[in-house]
Amino acid sequence: MPFASLNPATNQPMQTYASWDTQRLEQALQKVHHAQQVWAQTSYVQRTEVLFKVAAHLHTQRDRYASLITQEMGKPLREARAEVEKCAGVCDYYAQHAEEFMLSEPVESDAGKSYVAYYPLGVVLAIMPWNFPFWQVFRAAAPALMAGNALALKHAPNVPQCALAIESIFRECGLPEYVFANLMIEVDQAAEAIASPHVHAVTLTGSEAAGRKVAACAGQNLKKCVLELGGSDPFVVLHDAELEHTVNMAVASRFLNCGQSCIAAKRFIVVPQIADEFLRLFKEKVEALKVGNPINDDTQVGPMARADLRDELHRQVADSIAQGAVAVTGCRPVEGAGFFYQPSIMDRVTVNSCAWHEELFGPVAIVIRAIDEQDALRIANETRFGLGSSIWSKDTARAEQLAEQIQAGCAFINGMVKSDPRLPFGGVKASGYGRELSKLGMHEFVNAKTVWIR
């Protein structure tokens, strides 16, 4: 079945590509494996030179790649530009710090000398999503490549042009052939790739269902894996929050990338003292968002990436309203071409609603009214997900105490959740396991070897 690149703003086809058969996949993985063995012997100076070139190339060609992202998956152009710049930043970061992160660490023991040394693990299979088609790949590739690994990319089937562009960037900037390789394979071929003796580890960013399949396959084949899965992040607003700023950040956090982000705020949990005023401001600002063609600079909310995603979101919204949630604004698709959905808010969502339990992956915010602060904390943790979280209060010491009790991989106080190369990123519970970014993320895919000398 060919890969189809479709413009989600117009529903017009852009390009198609043939998928690979099993023989071509195995041949490619064998070449990646051989290339990695050579790459592992290169110096940090050589690796750094390549990543600095990649970063510079991304800066100078930002608008070109941003336009591709926008046309292929619907992200507003100004957000796409920021995504490309962020990719350049993660390349710069690991070029500057990878050698330090890979230094051997001395350990006192009964030996005359003992230490932990870090070596590349081999070929990392990266199964990546469509919602940040450049960033998700570069944040996996930069630390893996600097550690001496090779990266085989199985990208989402609706962004094949982005996948090919990234492969081309690395080659143009001096990375040896097959140290980074794009695999044009179907979803059901991922198991073959994981099972290949030429693949040594797997990193996945995707849905909970995809995570369960990849984890099972990796476990069966005894391959290390890191999973960054879905989220239903709580956005907890306490009585003393600075409301104007808080609501501005609520809008940005929920509606960035048309709400199609695992770390977007999704559950807005508010205490009684400020609930009505929060909702009034929230509604006002959400209704002011400009929906339109993502190629226009003034567009704030573009289309969803695919028709099936929009249809599933509307099913969740309609079911939630039937189960007692109150439609405050939006809550229906936009008529006409493209996969647009109105920026939406549902209020008075309760445990009886599917929106309470399921991740809403699109431009829909749900407001949950807590009884008090402790009830807000209970609601924040009453989810199978545990990726990000945020608490909004002028009393930062109190907010920090509450943040310690939230079951999530990230807790932000008076700021929206985001990924940063300097900080580890990942979740708990059904949001996955392992960490990306920072030194911890780099060490996920190395052989931490104990060396003991009499």
pLDDT at 412: 98
Euclidean distance between CA atoms 151 and 198, whole angstroms: 11
pLDDT at 358: 97
Catalytic residue among 83, 228, 359, 444: 228
Angle, CA of 153, 157 and 158, to the nearest 5° = 125
List pLDDT tens digits, range 366-404. 999 999 999 999 999 999 999 999 999 999 999 999 999
Catalytic residue among 87, 91, 162, 262: 262
Q: What is the mean pLDDT of residues 227-247?
A: 98
Residue pair 367/279 in contact (Cβ under 8 Å)? The answer is yes
115 phi and psi, to 5 degrees?
-160, 165
116 phi and psi, to 5 degrees?
-105, 125
For all residues of the chain together, what is the average pLDDT?
98
List pLDDT tens digits, range 12-68. 999 999 999 999 999 999 999 999 999 999 999 999 999 999 999 999 999 999 999
Please give the radius of gyration of the chain, using alpha carbons only, rounded to the nearest integer: 22
How many residues appear in the chain?
Answer: 454
- Asked if residue 1 has pLDDT above 90, the reply is no
pLDDT at 2: 80
Sketch out the chain's domains with CATH numbers: 3-229+428-453 (3.40.605.10), 233-413 (3.40.309.10)
Q: What does pTM read for this prediction? A: 0.97
Name every residue whose Cβ is closer than 8 Å to that of residue 291 and which is 6 or more positions away in sequence. Answer: 299, 300, 301, 302, 334, 340, 342, 343
- Asked if residue 182 has pLDDT above 80, the reply is yes
In what order do the strands lie in the sheet containing 432-433?
Answer: 180-182, 150-154, 123-127, 201-205, 224-228, 432-433
Euclidean distance between CA atoms 116 and 447, whole angstroms: 10
Task: Give the pLDDT band (50/70/90) at residue 429.
Answer: very high
pLDDT at 263: 97
242 is catalytic: no
400 is catalytic: no
